[in-house]
Structure 1
Amino acid sequence: MAVAAGATGWRAVLVASAGGVFLAALAVGAFVRDRPANVEDRPAGADSGTDHDSLREVLAGARRVLSDVDTWLMGVLLFLVIGLNFTVVGLWGVPYIVNLYDVPVSTAATTVLAANVGFALGSPLFGAVSDRTGRRTEVILGSCVVFLLAYGVIFLTVTPPLVVVSAALFVGMGVTGGASVAYTVAKERHAADSGAATGTINGMAYFGAAVFPAVMGAALDAYWTGAVVDGARAYTAQGYRVAFGVVAAGGVVAVLCAAALHVRVRRRERAAATASAPSDD
């Protein structure tokens, strides 16, 4: 998109993007159905099919989901991992590279593109690992640890070689797929309310994508040099250290949430195994 914008201007790129989204919306409206036409074809546990009962069932499910500590642990870690990743990759990554490495926007955008490649590869990879091993919370915890380490490198060094930045963004965004195994954990935890469970933690995740641009922007604005480069404010290296410090601090909290989730899930599994074990009597 950066290359296209350089060649044709932002207006043409945004109009083309809007047209693509509009066509996708028309396709959804034309082909996607809310529920099977026949009652007998609906999956077990589906709602009654009437608007009044559906709303009541959804609200009851939401209450059950929100009363579970696991929901909040998963929601907070996704709020941090997804919110911070999208803020860096979607907003501040390119200005950071242009500003501190003195390279063209196209070069910076190509470097940041590695993050989205990681995101595309990470989701199916970590999903497959989780399914084959059955180690869901371990995948989530490990992903949060790697997220912290990847962005910690940039926080500590600020301007490592550009290839290191690209690798850190690739890894940091790639492990979002591992953290997203939380959607599966939420669905399995609340099988009867799977829609409410996944919708709730998904809402928390993308709320992070709305909050952190403002948080990181406020942190950076304190270090504005007064210059504007390619339409974006230029900040000092210390400003970017502070910004990536916000990401690293979020990574620490995400690791703590993932560790607490892992302990709680394992504790329940041990209790269930003990309860189902045959008695010596």
Structure 2
Amino acid sequence: MFLAGVGVGVFVRDRPADPDDRPEGADSGTDTDSLREVLAGARRVLGDLDTWLMGVTLFLIFGLNFTVVGLWGVPYIVHLYDVSVATAASAVLAANIGFAVGSPAFGALSDRTGRRTEVIVGSCLAFVVAYGVVFLTVTPPLFVVALALFVGMGITGGASVAYTVAKERHADDSGAATGTVNGMAYLGAAVFPAVLGAALDAYWTGRVVDGARAYSAAGYRVAFGIVVLGGVIATLCAMALHVRVARREKRSPGAPGATSASGGD
């Protein structure tokens, strides 16, 4: 990533010197003006409550999903179901399939129906239900776990509609808007492994199985409880976003500004 960034900085040039050659709305092409415009756009984006509602939603959904699937999903199945790592990995594979199909499926659904925030809310609710089943039962049949992981990870595609909402909300600062909420999403992937790891370590049985610490069923229930709680908070944020967008649309039905205003309210 560092080398790619250096390559972009060295080789990419998209600053026509002649104002007549610049697309409408493009910056002036000077370093000073470009930086000033970028900072102004960042202030507008960060000053909008919608940005934070979308960012917190993605922070929770992405961070919790990636932690469960990428960090301790396989050990959880191996330890509590007494199956091989290969069998556990096959169950977790369902989550990756969900991740692969979720974005195009929910994107198409959002485009066909014209519903953005409704898709985000519905996805967050599905996240809560899917992981809630595992939280309540701890060791449901393995196919139920695989289905829960498929749904839980698949709805990241629905939550990702927030990128489109951010872009439409800040049409003049779309790069800053999508970059900001995307950064919040992957910040969650950096934070939650430590949070859930600390919670699980309190229930370590003292055994290490296949190179991973073995935790008690109670420990996994606590961890999934944190996941569900995060999903509830994400759902509340998504609902608040939906209400705000619906109010703007009611004030200006059909107007682009309903979802593309450049400032917060």
Both proteins in one fold, TM over 0.5: yes
- Cα RMSD of the aligned pairs, angstroms, is 2.2
User: Partners of 1:36 and 1:166 in 2: how far apart?
Assistant: 50
Which shifted more, 259-268 or 100-109?
A: 100-109
SS class of match (1:45): coil
Q: Write the mapping of 1:73-88 to structure 2, written as runs, cut at 5 A.
A: 73-88=53-68
2:114 alignment partner, one of 130, 134, 158: 134
* Range 44-53 or range 187-196, more displaced: 44-53
User: Structure 1: which 5+ runs fail to align?
Assistant: 1-20, 276-281
Of 186, 192, 217, which residue of structure 2 is paired with 1:237?
Answer: 217
Alpha-carbon distance, 1:44 to partner:
3.5
Q: Which amino acid aligns with 2:43?
A: R
2:52 to 72, 76, 86: 72
Task: Measure, in 2, the Cα distance between the counterparts of 1:228 and 1:272.
Answer: 60
Number of equivalent positions: 252
Tell me: CA distance 1:270–1:237, structure 2 relative to 1, closer, same or farther (3 Å). Answer: same
Which secondary structure does the structure 2 equivalent of 1:273 belong to? Answer: coil
TM-score of the pair, normalised by structure 2:
0.89
Q: Which residue of 2 aligns with 1:12?
A: none
* 1:88-99 alignment, distance < 5 Å: 88-99=68-79
Tell me, what secondary structure is at the counterpart of 2:248? helix
User: In structure 2, the residue corresponding to 1:225 is in which secondary structure?
Assistant: strand
Say whether 1:103 aligns with 2:86. no
| Alignment-derived partner of residue 199 in structure 1 | 179
1:35 and 2:14 are equivalent in the alignment: yes
When normalised by structure 1's length, the TM-score is: 0.84
How many Å separate the matches in 1 of 2:45 and 2:201?
A: 38
Of residues 118, 140, 160, the one that matches 1:180 is 160
Matched, 1:116 2:122: no
- What CA distance in whole angstroms lies between the structure 2 residues aligned with 1:34 and 1:98? 51
CA 61–224 in structure 1, closer or farther in 2 if over 3 Å, else same: same
Letter in 1 for 2:14: R
What is the aligned partner in structure 2 of residue 162 from structure 1? Answer: 142
Per-residue deviation, 1:56:
1.1
Q: Are 1:254 and 2:234 matched, yes or no?
A: yes
Distance 1:49 1:110 in 2: 51
Cα–Cα, structure 1 residues 193 and 224, in superposed 2: closer, same or farther, change >3 Å? same
Deviations 1:80-110 (A, max 9, x none): 0000000001101011111111111121111
Q: Which of 1 and 2 has higher RCO (CA within 8 Å, sep 6+)?
A: 2
| Higher mean displacement: 32-41 or 136-145 | 32-41
